[in-house]
Amino acid sequence: MRTFAGMLHAVVAGVLVVAAGHGVAGAAPSGSAALDQLPWTVGPEGVQATGAALADGLTGTVVWSRNAHTPVPIASITKVMTAIVVIAGNDLERPVTVPNEAFAYCARHNGSTAGLAPGEVLTARQLLYGLMLPSGCDAAYAVAESFGPGQDAFIAKMNDTARLLGLAGTQFTDPSGLPNPTDDSTHSTPVDLVAMGVRAMSLPVFREIVAARDYFVPAGPGNREHRWETTNRLLREYPGTIGIKTGNTDAAGHCLLFETVRAGIPVIGVVLHSSPHSSVAAKEDAERLLNWAYDPIMRVLQPA
């Protein structure tokens, strides 16, 4: 079975490359583009997101998209880049003091928090869990202040990393994705977010963090106890999901960057502005894309 799954992945990956050459990356939502080279004869149905992309999780080759290169606000999906920059600092055991300013920052922009207290000290690794699971904007502010050092220097590192990754449609003005200074000043595109996700998931530490459904920090000399749960409903409810990150602001709506591995085949995707009010809508959009990708494969594997 393992050999067959490997062979199947090679076949599927080859088909994806052929599809990309036929322009599927820019396919219309109706499935009217040249999908005849794929085992999927039409595009996914019922996807509400105004922007979306689905890709092979190994190569990042996009097989279906909607408004692939249109920059839009991405809310807390921004925190994926924040984590990449912190991990690149290669100092995850660094003690980080939570600044008082983090709380005014969260309150000013109505940001989600990890429930951190002013002055408590946690390691950068612990704060990454607080950043990615409960989507703590207080954790984002704290690591940015430490690893910049300072907010401006850290944001510059985020943008430098985006340029190095070739994310031409991406700009960061805030480490959390909050509307700072404007609703759309931090923005990206579906194809850029898929590429960013592929890079992030190549980092073992990042993969471990975003695969966690919950995380516990015991009380210590410099910190209080914390219990964090993921905001990623897909991680709990869709088989094979291994991450990645939710997002939500008024301008961005509900968004989700996700990766799933089934039958040994990784698929990565993003849905942007699935709904102004419902995280369930983003999860269901992701499920529609994943079912579209996996159903033909699982039908082949089922008799085996």
Active site residues: 76, 79, 135
User: How many H helices and E strands in the chain?
Assistant: 10, 11
SS3 78: helix
Cβ–Cβ < 8 Å for 138, 113: yes
Cβ–Cβ < 8 Å for 105, 199: no
- Tell me the C-alpha distance between 41 and 249, whole Å: 35
Cβ–Cβ < 8 Å for 9, 265: yes
300: its two tokens: 């082949």
Give residues with Cβ within 8 angstroms of 7, minimum separation 6. none
- Tell me the C-alpha distance between 206 and 214, whole Å: 14
Indicate the helix (H) or strand (E) that contains 230. none
Place of tokens 């194809």: 191
Q: How many CB atoms lie within 10 A of CB 145?
A: 21
- Cα distance from N-terminal residue to C-terminal residue, the chain: 8
SS3 201: helix
